[in-house]
Amino acid sequence: MTAKRIQEHAAAGTPTGAELLPAAQLSTTVTTTATNISAVAASNKFVRGSGSWITDGFSVGRSVKASGWTGGTANNKTARTITELTATDMTFGGTDGDDIVDDAGGESVTVTAWEPVQMSAQEIADLGAGVSDAADVAYTPADPSDWSSSADPGDVNQALDQLALRVLTLEEAGGGAVDAAGVTYAPADASDWSSSADPGDVNEALDQLATRAQALEDAGAGSTVGLHMIAIDAGAMHPRYTGGCEGLNWLDLGAGKPEVAYLAFDSTTQEFATFNITMPKSWNASTITFEVDWMHPSTTTNFGVVFGLSAAAFGNGDDFNVSFGTAQTVSDTGGTTNAKYTTPTSSAITIANTPAKSDTVCLQLSRNPSDGSDTLAVDARVIAVRVYITTDAETDA
């Protein structure tokens, strides 16, 4: 397809939705989640203690998303490009690596590759991306040095603002005689543009960016498909009949202040609480993740705590005499008496008993004091559990 300037389209012409746009999506196969990944600032790399980046499918030149760093949070980033790769070392060059900070590891870190795809404007709209403003559309340049202060503009809104300002400066430099169509623009990576071709001049580049940003903004704004959080407060949970935690209690800080309900979990014996969620029809009947909101009473040292969550699903006519699936755990560190802490997000939990849409999912929360990372010498007080599910439909019709 030959790219045209906006003014070259026929007046009655309307985009068909079949025009191809470059896009990217997170890979479902080239991804790794582990607790043995460390970050090394001096050499701009992620280092894993076991396993192989190469065996997992990563390669030089691919962009990756990193998440889960709780110590060196600067290491969490939507996109970095791999410049060197061995089985254990993933290195990032240029500005992609300059913001890496040292982190010895121990957190549950996920590294996922971006997959390049081409999609029509209609396909993007059908995704229901929920984008209503260009500022919400991420943009990662092939070469950040092309942009102001040699920095990634971050989103399409910032990129358009920069380009518009720079074109205006060029036009004014010629006393108004310079037109954007006469300003040459050679992209660092032509594959970023329509039909993977050099747009040739700033006028074409701006036209393309405006069209593509508009397509994204028009693509199903307000969609509800995707990740959703279900909050379960302590009052909606109960101690397990056998090996249960303490019953519901309240933190009373005095008149005019909140009374915070909680369940207390022992520092030496593993204890449990249970709760149920009736899933919506729009649930994709797949894995879930969780976080825990918690606090602790006064203590002087050792503030680490480890929580676990497991689950089983039950549909109409299913026997409840089923074991929970394998639990996933999260670790967190407190420190201030009666302060609210929220754990990192867990790894994916596989629900036992073949879950289906609209099932009742029974969940079991535990504190794991036998885990070496659980060092808190007093009760851990659970305020709430945040359960994250993914939907694949707009409604429950």
Highest mean pLDDT among 150-159, 249-258, 306-315: 306-315
Q: Are 119 and 20 in contact (CB under 8 A)?
A: yes
Taken in order of first residue, the domains within the chain and their CATH numbers are 23-117 (2.40.30), 127-217 (no CATH), 226-391 (2.60.120.260)
For residue 121, the 8-state DSSP code is H
Q: Are 374 and 270 in contact (CB under 8 A)?
A: no
* pLDDT over 50 (residue 12): no
* pLDDT over 50 (residue 9): no
- In the block, tokens 């997992």 appear at 56
Question: Helices in the chain by DSSP H: which ranges?
Answer: 95-98, 121-126, 156-173, 202-217
Task: Kindly list the distances between the CA atom of residue 46 and the CA atoms of 56, 85, 274, 292, in Å, as whole numbers in the listed order.
Answer: 14, 10, 38, 28
* pLDDT over 50 (residue 6): no
- pLDDT score for 115: 85
The β-bridge relationship of strands 259-265 and 154-155 is unpaired
DSSP letter string, 321-374 = -------EEEEEE--STT--EEPPPPPPBPPBS---TT-EEEEEEEE-TTSTT-
Quick: pLDDT tens for 261-297: 999 999 999 999 999 999 999 999 999 999 999 999 9
Quick: pLDDT tens for 182-199: 777 777 777 877 777 777
Q: What is the mean pLDDT of residues 172-190?
A: 68
Average pLDDT value for the chain: 85
Quick: pLDDT tens for 92-126: 887 767 788 898 888 999 999 988 877 665 565 55
Residue closest to 109 by CA, chosen among 42, 28, 27, 47:
47
Tokens of 235: 């009052």
Quick: pLDDT tens for 285-331: 999 999 999 999 999 888 999 999 999 999 999 999 999 999 999 99
Tokens of 251: 């933190």
Quick: pLDDT tens for 34-52: 999 999 988 899 999 999 9
- pLDDT score for 259: 94
Q: What is the mean pLDDT of residues 151-171?
A: 74
* pLDDT over 90 (residue 31): yes
Give the contacts of 70 (CB within 8 A, at least 6 positions apart): 107, 344
Tokens of 194: 């329509």
Give the contacts of 251 (CB within 8 A, at least 6 positions apart): 259, 260, 262, 295, 338, 381
Q: 0.85 exceeded by the pTM?
A: no
CB atoms within 10 A of CB 37: 28
As a whole number of angstroms, the longest Cα–Cα distance in the chain is 83
* pLDDT over 90 (residue 364): yes
